[in-house]
Amino acid sequence: MSHSPFLTALYADVQSRLPLWTTQYVKPVSDGAFAVSSTWTDDSGAQLQRLFIAVEASDTNNISEAVLTEWIALVEAWQTAHKEDEVSCFVGFVDLAGTVSYYRCETAVAGVLRSKPDDHLTCR
């Protein structure tokens, strides 16, 4: 299966930064976009999960409500399938050169957007 150059660059970057982790393409929402996940299993069998959402970097730095809604759906689906204390989510902005800038998502507020329009999925 062929993925966008931005998702492919994100995958390669995650794999190079976490070489001992299992990195793969995932689709947390059946009709949604692909993302990248990376998993570490320690000696006790406990797993640490990371979800990376690829974003094409632009010079406008504007994120549409539709894109934000898609991110929230990805994060919520990922959290539903995994224990909350084992999961971290990141948005990876990928530029045309394939350079990735990571921002960790504060996923505890992922579902808030639907109930309070002033709240957002916060990424740092």
What's the whole-model pTM score?
Answer: 0.72
Q: Report domain extents, the chain.
A: 5-123
Q: For residue 62, what pLDDT is reported?
A: 66
3-state helix, strand, coil in the chain (%, to 5): 30, 30, 35
Secondary structure element (H or E) that encloses residue 50, with its range: strand 47-56
What tens digit of pLDDT does each residue of 43-71 get? Answer: 888 888 888 988 777 666 666 777 778 87
DSSP-assigned states of every residue in 62-75: ---HHHHHHHHHHH
**Closest CA relative to residue 77, chosen from 112, 36, 30:** 30
Contacts of 34 (CB under 8 A, 6+ apart): 3, 7, 25, 26, 27, 54
Query: 82 near 49, Cβ under 8 Å?
Result: yes
Which tens digit of pLDDT belongs to each residue from 60-100?
666 677 777 887 788 888 777 776 556 677 888 888 787 88
* 53 φ, ψ (degrees, to nearest 5): -105, 125
- The pLDDT of 9-25, averaged and rounded, is 93
Q: Which fold would CATH assign to domain 5-123?
A: Trna Endonuclease; Chain: A, domain 1 (3.40.1350)
